[in-house]
Amino acid sequence: MKPTTYRDRRGFLPIGVVAMLALGAAGIACAADYPVKPIRFLVGVAPGGGTDFMARLVAQKLNDAWGQSVVVDNRIGATGLIAMEMLSKAAPDGYTVIVFNIGHMMSAYLTRKVSFDPAKDFAPVTLMANGTSMLGVHPSVPVRSVRELVAYAKAHPGKLSYASGGIGGTQHLATELLKREAGIDLVHVPYKGSGPGTLALLSGEVQVFLTNALALLPHTKSGKVTGLAVTGSKRLKAAADIPTFAEAGYPTVDVGLWQGMFAPGGTPAAIRAKLASTITASLRTPEVTRMLEAQGAEPVGTTPEEFGRFVRNERSRWLKVVHDANITAN
């Protein structure tokens, strides 16, 4: 039996195609009016951190652009999983989105007991910014470069320990990547957050920490930490004497502390595209660029499709690190 069709000026179209066209037109019409009510930004960290700063900055810019209230809702706990679970249950209408970072993404993929699938239940919006990591060592370690650290670690296998903000977190995975690329043995000591990890480095309880550059920068200037390298394609303006990992001979140790936005799965593509384009325009203004540079970050701004490809690549890359390092999930 042939499918029912209808005739237009160009001939016949199957009803399924007609339905798809109608849904697409409805999504575009919806995006044209969007937003007509307040928007909620879920954030899985406490106020004051880099991800929270990014969320509040973008929220204000969207408020200015659209004249509509944008509320930042901090839902703290479980390395962002609480906020992500809330997103997975939110209506796919563009009025609830999440701003999260690479650490939250990996937490979602590594934790066994979650009620959602980030690959299916989240729809990409845009990659917002990339932050910088710094490799710092305690002054008691007699090294002044990454190559010297690698040589020292090879001469003293298992004698150096490194901090992280928790198992499976950004610092853990980043240092395991460095270990793999350099062929060295460092002992992992996880802490409950990057703050305690920094204190452990300062006290000499651990000797190595690869973390947010802003956390270590004041201590490199005071001489309490030796900065060896930073991630990214260029040196930090605030630490121009510290080379990039590429300059130090390890270009594959590229750990961007990125922050991005996702919407619930099923959110119309036209709404996500409108969010992405408006956010991108605000991120690339001189004012916002200066503000992000002061935070050790640089603006990005992508289409939803570009961000989707980026996240898939990041997932594959870091899951390989997890596999190679035999990191177990909770």
Q: Which of 19, 2, 1, 18 is nearest to 10 (CA)?
A: 18
What whole-number distance in Å separates Cα of residue 169 and Cα of residue 111? 11
233 versus 209: the higher-pLDDT residue is 209
Same domain, residue pair 197 and 107: no
8 versus 306: the higher-pLDDT residue is 306
Extract the tokens encoding 153. Answer: 């670690």
Residue 20 covered by a domain? no
Residue ranges of the alpha helices (H) in the chain?
15-33, 50-66, 81-88, 102-110, 118-121, 146-155, 170-182, 194-203, 213-222, 269-283, 286-294, 304-325
Residue 32 covered by a domain? no
The SS3 assignment for 258 reads: strand
Same domain, residue pair 163 and 176: yes
What whole-number distance in Å separates Cα of residue 205 and Cα of residue 162? 9
Residue 315 has pLDDT above 60, yes or no: yes
72 versus 22: the higher-pLDDT residue is 72
Residue 8 covered by a domain? no
**CATH number for the domain that contains residue 308:** 3.40.190.150
Same domain, residue pair 234 and 223: yes
Same domain, residue pair 303 and 268: yes
Same domain, residue pair 150 and 93: no
Extract the tokens encoding 304. Answer: 């939803």
Same domain, residue pair 291 and 261: yes
pLDDT at 230: 96
How far CA 13 is from CA of 22, 23, 25, 227, in Å, comes to 13, 15, 16, 65
Tens-digit pLDDT profile for residues 224-240? 999 999 998 899 988 99
pLDDT at 10: 44
Residue 210 covered by a domain? yes
What whole-number distance in Å separates Cα of residue 53 and Cα of residue 238? 19
The single-letter code of the amino acid at 104 is: H
Residue 292 covered by a domain? yes
Residue 8 has pLDDT above 50, yes or no: no
pLDDT confidence tier of residue 2, bands split at 50, 70 and 90: very low
Same domain, residue pair 233 and 305: no
Inter-residue contact 275 to 145 (CB < 8 Å)? no
Inter-residue contact 317 to 181 (CB < 8 Å)? no
> 85 is in which domain, residue-wise?
37-131+256-325
Residue 211 covered by a domain? yes
Same domain, residue pair 116 and 144: no
Residue 157 has pLDDT above 70, yes or no: yes
User: Mean pLDDT over residues 156-166, rounded?
Assistant: 93
Q: Indicate the residue among 205, 239, 273 that finishes a domain.
A: 239
Q: Which of 112-116, 143-147, 230-234 has the lowest mean pLDDT?
A: 112-116
Residue 250 covered by a domain? no
pLDDT at 172: 92
**CATH number for the domain that contains residue 177:** 3.40.190.10
Q: Which of 176, 152, 156, 154 is nearest to 164 (CA)?
A: 176
Tens-digit pLDDT profile for residues 177-192? 999 999 999 999 998 8
How many structural domains does the chain have?
A: 2
Same domain, residue pair 121 and 261: yes
pTM: 0.82
Same domain, residue pair 123 and 260: yes
Q: Indicate the residue among 209, 239, 269 that finishes a domain.
A: 239
